[in-house]
Structure 1
Amino acid sequence: MSKKVIALSVLILFVLVIGLTGCGQQTAKPAEPAKAKVLKAGADAAFAPFEFQDEKTKEYTGFDIDLIKAIGKQMGVEVEVQNINFDGLIPALEAGNIDVLISGMTITEERTKKVNFSKPYYRSGLSMVVKSDNNTLKSFKDLEGKNIAVQIGTTGANEAKKIKDAKVREFNNAPEAFMELKAGGVDAVVNDLPVNEYYIAKTGSKDAKIVGEPLNAEEYGIATAKKNTELAEKINKALEELKKNGEYEKIYMKWFGKKPPQ
């Protein structure tokens, strides 16, 4: 065998070895960045000052929105807010479409059968709003036989239905109820006190006024699915930490202009 043939054979063998080695190797893919965990929160964004859509930015804002975002930050997760009608919030939670709901929801025995509530984060009560020139309706007792506007699925709606001979009209959200009052279609609106106060502040007391003493002491809670006890515990822990470090008080002061009750 000549030297040329030997050299050529060595060269061919070398090329084959390099080729086979290359086939056995896979090009390393760049590592994908870890996706941030997202907490899907449901709220009825027509319940100012707790949750509503900013007219300029179109972003959801309010006391509840700031609070759940602060809770998410404390837990190390991003919060994604979904706007859902109030009466559809618990069904959405039960179906797994959202992880948590925060929407000025009063903790009641009936609701506790369906969801887990956090420790109370806000204390409220029901009040009634009438037109500014109405001087005959001064208490809940005066609503007997009257037309009352309420928001569907709320404790205000439940209480209004207990009033003797009252004709209760249910609306999808609080603004619709107030519009009906302004149009003269109802005699009063029954809703949570801070919501009524915010409406009066926005209208400058020109169209309506709050009358009578608040009815019932109510406490709001953040709800999670019955089976998700781990998330409920994390939310309670985060809420407690926010109250300790002063962040809860800052958010409360921002929306209500006063310190939270002790």
Structure 2
Amino acid sequence: MWRTAVSVRFDLRGSALRAACVLAGGALVLTACTSNSESNAPDVAKVDVAKVDSIAAKVPADIKSSGKLVVGVNVPYQPNEYKDPSSGKIVGFDVDLMDAVGKVLGLGTDYKEADFEKIIPSIEAGTFNLGMSSFTDNKEREATADFVDYFSAGSQWAQQKGKSIDPNNACGKRVAVQRTTVQDTDEIPAKSKACVAAGKPEIQKVAYDEQSAAATALVQGQVDAMSADSPVTAYAIKQASDKIESAGPIFDSAPYGWPVKKSSPLSPVLQEAVQYLMDNGQYRKIAENWGVQEGAITKSVINGATS
């Protein structure tokens, strides 16, 4: 996910306003609401990952002795990371991939929930070894943390079924976003400014703390459109395909990366582990399990941002 100022550009997500929805047992239960949880998580046993001694030998000593990667995560952000209501465990594409990386390194994975904006400061403080919450790697963030890139995502809009919303000409429309995402801090403000400069009404940005609330607002017709990361929009549409659909193509693609403390020896180890999974096809299988293979990449790099 993405943001603007250095103090804010750490994420693409948050926590949320659940307007007309009722939270019960970790899942939103009103029919018209988009749930924060899913019970039909893919079976991770389908991807059998084994330790690779040559890579595991490079794990920093302190992490190796702990036997685990401590990972800061913010949920929900379907399908990348969210809680399964039946088990209460954090699941998702990001989770399955990080678990696989941990197995390559001979390590367990210990997911610690945190506010999105607190994850990178906690990495800097040594509380977490890394972050895993659909962070978009960009030059501004790279000044604060190193990023191990593992996926490519862009922004994509959704609209109510049968409606016609042009993301490049949405002046006067109400558009839902998740607070502190790049869509909130960069995309919609820039497009709204262009509307005003052209003598048209501004875009009415409606920001929510959780992505699920933004999707719910669109499903219920409280907004005209929603803008989010492409895999998130695709998942929201899958969950409510009878009510919402895509509005325009994916744009402004950029890499997702795992933030790691600047110059940490952990970064190249993570990069080598995920590259191993890419090369042997297991990474692709994990992506296909979650239906996000469109954003799968074939080469992991450290700090691969272009802007």
TM-score by shorter chain over 0.5: yes
Segments of 4+ moved more than 4 angstroms: none
- Paired with 1:254 and 1:107, the residues of 2 have a C-alpha distance of 24
Superposed CA deviations along residues 193-227 of structure 1, whole A, max 9, x for unmatched, are 11111111112x12211111222112111110115
Q: Write the distance in 1 (CA, Å) between the matches of 2:238 and 2:88.
A: 21
Change (3 A) 1:92 1:148: farther
Alignment of 1:50-89 (within 5 A): 50-89=80-119
> Based on CA coordinates, which of the two structures has the bigger radius of gyration?
1
**Unaligned runs of at least 5 residues, structure 2:** 1-63, 193-201, 299-307
What is the match of residue 170 of structure 1?
Answer: 207
- Alpha carbons 1:66, 1:251 under 8 Å: kept: yes
Match of 2:12 in 1: none
- Counterpart amino acid of 2:188? A
The 1:236/1:258 distance shift into structure 2, 3 A limit, reads closer
Q: Distance in 1 between matches of 2:173 and 2:79?
A: 27
Q: Secondary structure at the match of 2:265?
A: helix
| Alpha-carbon distance in structure 2 between the residues aligned to 1:78 and 1:261 | 24
CA deviation string 1:217-245 (max 9, x = no partner): 12111110115x20111111111111223
Residue in 2 that maps onto 1:244 = 279
SS class of match (1:117): strand
Write the letter of the residue equivalent to 1:181: L
Q: Aligned partners of 1:70 and 1:175: how far apart in 2?
A: 27
1:132, 1:207 within 8 Å by CA — same for their partners in 2?
A: yes
Q: Does 1:213 align with 2:266?
A: no
3-state DSSP class of the match of 2:290? helix
Q: How does 1:91-110 map to 2 (within 5 A)?
A: 91-110=121-140
Q: Is the contact made by 1:122 and 1:219 (CA closer than 8 Å) also made in structure 2?
A: yes
| Aligned pairs (5 A) from 1:32-47 | 36-47=66-77
**SS where residue 168 of structure 2 aligns?**
helix
CA contact (8 A) 1:46 1:174 kept: yes
Amino acid at match of 1:160: I
**Residue pair 1:67, 1:248 contacting (<8 A) in 2 also:** yes
Percent of aligned positions that are identical: 26
Does residue 153 in structure 1 map to residue 180 in structure 2? yes
| Rounded Cα–Cα distance in structure 1 between residues aligned with 2:262 and 2:119 | 14
Aligned-partner residue type, residue 138 of structure 2: T
Shift of 1:261: 5.2
Match of 2:144 among 114, 118, 125: 114
More helix by share: 1
Determine which of 143, 149, 163 is the counterpart of 1:134. Answer: 163
Question: What's the TM-score once normalised by structure 1's chain length?
Answer: 0.79
Separation of aligned partners in 2, 1:72 and 1:35? 14
1:136-183: CA deviation from partner (whole Å, max 9, x where unpaired): x1x212222322211122222221121122222222221011122233
Distance in 2 between residues matched to 1:197 and 1:132, nearest whole Å: 14
Q: 3-state SS of the aligned residue for 1:47?
A: coil
Mapped contact 2:83–2:91 kept (Cα < 8 A) = yes
> 3-state DSSP class of the match of 1:105?
coil
Cα 1:224–1:154 shift into 2, 3 Å: same
Counterpart Cα distance in 2 of 1:151 and 1:81: 22
- Please name the residue that 1:198 is paired with: 235
Residues 216 and 257 (structure 1), Cα distance of their counterparts in 2 relative to 1, 3 Å cut: closer
Tell me the distance in 2 between the aligned counterparts of 1:221 and 1:95.
19
> How large is the RMSD of aligned CA atoms in angstroms?
2.0
Number of matched pairs: 224
Residue aligned with 2:284, SS: helix
Aligned residues of 2:150 and 2:297 also touching (Cα < 8 A): no
